[in-house]
Amino acid sequence: MNTKVVNNSQLSFFKILSLKLKDIMELTKLRLSLLVVFSAIMAYLLAIETAVVWSNVFFLFLGGFLVTASSNTVNQIIEKDLDKLMTRTQNRPLPAGRMRLVEAYMIAGITGVSGILILAFYFNTLSGLLGALALISYAFIYTPFKRISPVSVFIGAIPGSIPLLIGYTAASGTIGTIGIVLFTIQFFWQIPHFWSIAWLLDEDYKKAGYFLLPSNEGKTRNTALQNIPYLIGLLAVSTLPYILNISGIASLIVSLIAGIYFLSAGIQLATDLTDKSARKLMFASFIYLPIVFLALVIDKI
């Protein structure tokens, strides 16, 4: 047997496998899924009253990741024809034709069902129901609503915040006051986060008929100013963990500094109306959640 031919076949197989895995990661939006799961784990760590059981953390990670991956996959199945119209998304696996629709359906079904079952049976029924609610509301309510009204951003913020409740209920079995506080923090955070991205991608979104900015006026001062009430609201609700004795003064200070930085980025966008400032606001949103939630968990420990 020709060793060179065998080696070439092996290399070809691994190359195909690598490309397929890359497409699956893009289909499931790996980085976004990991950020969502991070929020759930932070809520879990805030809820537990005993020593951390790392096997529980692993299964929460796995279940949450699978549900989020399914949500993102269904989103891309529904939007596959619209994704062809936008520069940002036209090279995704489905619109580019690198993946068959039946493959995407299989991935969505397997990840969704298995993720919900892990949450329901390894933790509790409430966690599983919240996982199913997050999947259904994101994929089948938020996704089609994006072409109907800017209200879709508020609809999308609900499934985007449910992972905090999943993490909290996985540890406690109930939603509770703390779970609601964490949900509210993430809900307020998501509005300016969504709108900063919508500002930067406004022209691309228009190609697919999406309405994601809060005003039909487009990138105007009135549009930018609508971030401010939510940034102020976020600053206010971020004090609740301290007020309710969930955390101490250290995490309060961190939350206030992060919130003021986030707010200042929103004010700057409303002042100069530039894409550079919108990008700064988006960057501020990316660093806000990890900093604030890690501060809360570390402060508790």
Q: Which residue has the higher pLDDT, 249 or 8?
A: 249
Closest CA to 257 of 287, 227, 283: 287
pLDDT at 3 over 70: no
Q: Tokens standing for 217? A: 């006026």
DSSP one-letter string for 6-46: HHHHHHHHHHHHHHHHHHHHHHTTHHHHHHHHHHHHHHHHH
Q: Tell whether the model's pLDDT for residue 5 goes beyond 50.
A: no
pLDDT tens for residues 77-97? Answer: 999 999 999 999 999 999 999
User: How much is the average pLDDT of 209-232?
Assistant: 92
Start-to-end CA distance of the chain, whole Å, equals: 62
Which pLDDT score, from 0 to 100, does residue 46 have?
92
Report how far residue 86's alpha carbon sits from residue 83's, in angstroms, rounded to the nearest whole number: 6
Give the pLDDT confidence score for residue 19 in this predicted structure. Answer: 81
Helix pair angle (54-78, 125-137), 10° resolution: 20
- Statement: residue 6 has pLDDT above 50: no
Q: What is the pLDDT of residues 32-78, one digit of tens each?
A: 888 889 999 999 999 998 888 999 999 999 999 999 999 999 999 99
pTM, two decimal places = 0.91
Task: For domain 13-174, give the fold.
Answer: Tetracycline Repressor; domain 2 (1.10.357)
Binned at pLDDT 50, 70 and 90, residue 10 comes out as low
Alpha-carbon span 166 to 133, nearest angstrom: 10
- Three-class DSSP category at 89: coil
E strand segments, the chain: none
On average, the pLDDT of the chain sits at 92
Angle between helices 275-300 and 176-200 in degrees, nearest 10? 160
Output the six-digit token pair for 292.
């604030």
Please report which confidence band the pLDDT of residue 18 belongs to, taking 50, 70 and 90 as the band edges.
Answer: confident
Residue type, 30: L
Q: What is the pLDDT of residue 299?
A: 86
CB atoms within 10 A of CB 125: 12
106-120, 123-137, 203-217, 232-246: range with lowest mean pLDDT: 203-217
In the chain, % helix, strand, coil (3-state, to 5) comes to: 80, 0, 20
Q: Give the model confidence (pLDDT) of 170-196 as tens digits.
A: 999 999 899 999 999 999 999 999 999
Q: Which of residues 52 and 14 earns the better pLDDT score?
A: 52
Per-residue model confidence (pLDDT) at position 8? 55
pLDDT at 296 over 90: yes
Eight-class DSSP state of 217 = T
Q: Using the CB atoms, write b or e for 165-184: b if 16+ within 10 Å.
A: bbbbbbbbeebeebbebbbb
Q: How far apart are CA 135 and CA 50, in angstroms?
A: 30
DSSP conformational letter for 235:
H
Side-chain-side CA neighbours of residue 194 (13 Å): 26
Q: Rounded CA gap, 189 and 125, in Å?
A: 28
Q: How many other C-beta atoms can be found within 10 angstroms of the C-beta atom of residue 101? A: 10
Percent of the chain's residues with pLDDT above 70: 96
| Candidate from 5-9, 90-94, 127-131, 170-174 with smallest mean pLDDT | 5-9
User: At a CB cut-off of 8 Å and minimum separation 6, what does 30 contact?
Assistant: 69
- Every domain of the chain and the residues it spans: 13-174, 175-301
Average pLDDT for 202-229: 91
Residue 11 has a pLDDT of 55
Q: What is the pLDDT of residues 234-268, one digit of tens each?
A: 999 999 999 998 889 999 999 999 999 999 999 99
Q: Which of 57, 139, 144, 72 is nearest to 111 (CA)?
A: 72
Average pLDDT over residues 187-216: 93
Confidence label for 9 from pLDDT (cuts 50, 70 and 90): low
